[in-house]
Amino acid sequence: MVNKWITNVPVATLWTSAQSPRAIDEQGIKQNPDLNAWIASLDYEKALELCDANLVQSQLLYGEEVVVIEETNEWFHVVVPTQPSSKNSVGYPGWVPKCQMTACESWDVMQGPIAVVTAKKANLTKTNEILTLSYLTVLPLISEKGELVTVQTPDGEGALQRSDVEIFSSRSDWSVKDGEKVVESAEQFLDLPYFWGGMSSYGYDCSGLSYTACKANGVIIPRDAHDQSVEGEEVSLDSLQRGDLLFFAYEEGKGALHHVGIYYGDGKLLHSPKTGKNVEIIPLAGTVYEKELMAARRFWKKGEDSHAS
C-alpha cells in the first residue's frame, strides 16, 4: 500500500478517532470542506466540546505529508512528520478523511525550490477550481513569471500570485532566526477567534499559534505546548526577548502546564487564549498569567539549529 499521502484540501482536521466528528462537523470533513461555514456553525458549547470531549487533535495544511498506519473504508489513521510530538516518534497521530488526501510518492518539499504562502490567505488557481490556502502553506515551486508563480500540487499544477508568497531555493534555506519575525507572524492574527486544534489562518489554538510563529522563521517545533516547553534554548524569566515562547502552569507555575504564548516585549503576552476569546496582546502584570508563568524557551537564536526543519 502507498504510505505517502498528501493533504489535498486547504485545511484538513486531524481527529482523535474516526468516530469523533459530530453531525455539525460535516462541513469540516467533506471532500471540499468549508472551514468558514464549519467554524461559524459552532456555538461556544460546540466549539468547546472539540477540546473537552477530546474530539480534535490538530490540523494539516494543503500539501502537508502524512504517513498512513491504518485505514478504514473512509478514514486514514496517520502520523504527521511535520508536527513533532511525544505521542509518536514519527510525528503527530490522528485520523483524517480519505477524501482529503491524495497519494503522491514523489512529493518532496525538502530539496528543491519552494513557495511559502506569506499572505494570511491566498487563492490557488487550478484548472477546475480555486482553493483558498492558509498562511505558511508550503508547495514545490515549478516556475516564476511576472505576477504569477506556478507550483506543484498533490494532483497537478496550480498558480499563485507572486505577492502572496515568498520563494526559497530549498527548505533548508528557509531559516530567518529572528525574534521579531516570530512576533510579526503572530501579531497579524490579532482578533482572530481561538479554535481548538487550529493550525491555520482560519483559527489557531495556543500552541498552534506558537508553532506557526516559529514556522515563519523556517523552524519546525513540536506541535503541543508541553513538548515545546522542553525544546529549543532555555531562557531565564529575567532575560526575555521578543519572540521567546512563554509557558504557563496551574498552581502558580508549579502544577501541570496548560498554556503557551509569545513574549511581545515590554512585559506583554501575545497569545490565543481559549475558546470564546480572540488572539490578543495583554500586559502580564496583575494577571493570572503573571502568577502562572513557569518557563521560557527560544527557538529563533541565530546560529542555533531547531528541533527539526
Q: Is residue 258 annotated as a catalytic residue, yes or no?
A: no
User: Which listed residue (77, 99, 104, 206) is catalytic?
Assistant: 206
Which candidate, 222, 266, 274, places its Cα nearest to that of 248? 274
Secondary structure (H, E, C), 185-235: HHHCCCCCECCCCCEECCEECHHHHHHHHHHCCCCECCCCHHHHCCCCEEE
Gap between the Cα atoms of 147 and 123, Å rounded: 13
- Provide the 3-class DSSP secondary structure of residue 126: coil
Per DSSP, helices labelled H in 223-273 are: 225-228, 250-253
What is the Cα 293 distance to its own chain's centre? 23
Contacts of residue 87, Cβ cutoff 8 Å, sequence gap at least 6:
93
Q: Is residue 271 annotated as a catalytic residue, yes or no?
A: yes
Q: Which amino acid is at 99?
A: C
Q: Is residue 226 annotated as a catalytic residue, yes or no?
A: no
Cα atoms found within 13 Å of the Cα of residue 101, Cβ hemisphere only: 27
* Residues tagged active-site: 206, 259, 271
